[in-house]
Amino acid sequence: MRLRGCFAPPPGNSVSGVLNAHPDLAGKLAAAKRLTAESTAEQAAVGLDALTDAERETFTRLNDAYTAKFGFPFIIAVRDNTKATIMERFSAVSTMTARPSSHRPANRWSGSRNCA
């Protein structure tokens, strides 16, 4: 069963714990090999385990910016994307070219929909 059906739409704090428990994409836990087997396999399938130094720096910067703006990590259904589409969507949201910062509830709902 997918977790997607277990979430209620925002506003609300009921999903915050689940969202905050998600690891950063290509983040410190991945580098330390401390992701679950499932997360490791998902990220490896799209090449997030084999980033260039520049890509890793970009992911770190985007992870930090997104978490600072929304209070939880960027979450996307990795298996439904490629490294390029993840980077594109992540960059757009983290730099606020896609959504204004006032849309924190929309981002929380988007994040909860991508938890699986």
Q: How many domains does the chain have?
A: 1
Residue 102: the pLDDT is 47
103 is catalytic: no
Residue 69: the pLDDT is 86
Asked whether residue 106 is domain-assigned, the answer is yes
Cβ atoms within 10 Å of 83's Cβ, excluding its own: 19
- CATH of residue 53: 1.10.3330.10
Residue 38: the pLDDT is 92
Q: Which domain holds residue 73?
A: 14-114
Asked whether residue 6 is domain-assigned, the answer is no
Position 42, amino acid: E
Asked whether residue 35 is domain-assigned, the answer is yes
Asked whether residue 3 is domain-assigned, the answer is no
Give the predicted TM-score (pTM) of the model. Answer: 0.68
pLDDT of 85 over the 90 cut = yes
Residue 95: the pLDDT is 66
Least confident of 11-25, 39-53, 68-82: 11-25
Asked whether residue 28 is domain-assigned, the answer is yes
- Please give the C-alpha separations between residue 20 and each of 14, 15, 16, 85, 101, in angstroms, as whole numbers: 11, 9, 6, 22, 18
Asked whether residue 1 is domain-assigned, the answer is no
Active-site hit among 16, 18, 22, 60 = 22
- Residue of 106 and 17 predicted with greater confidence: 17
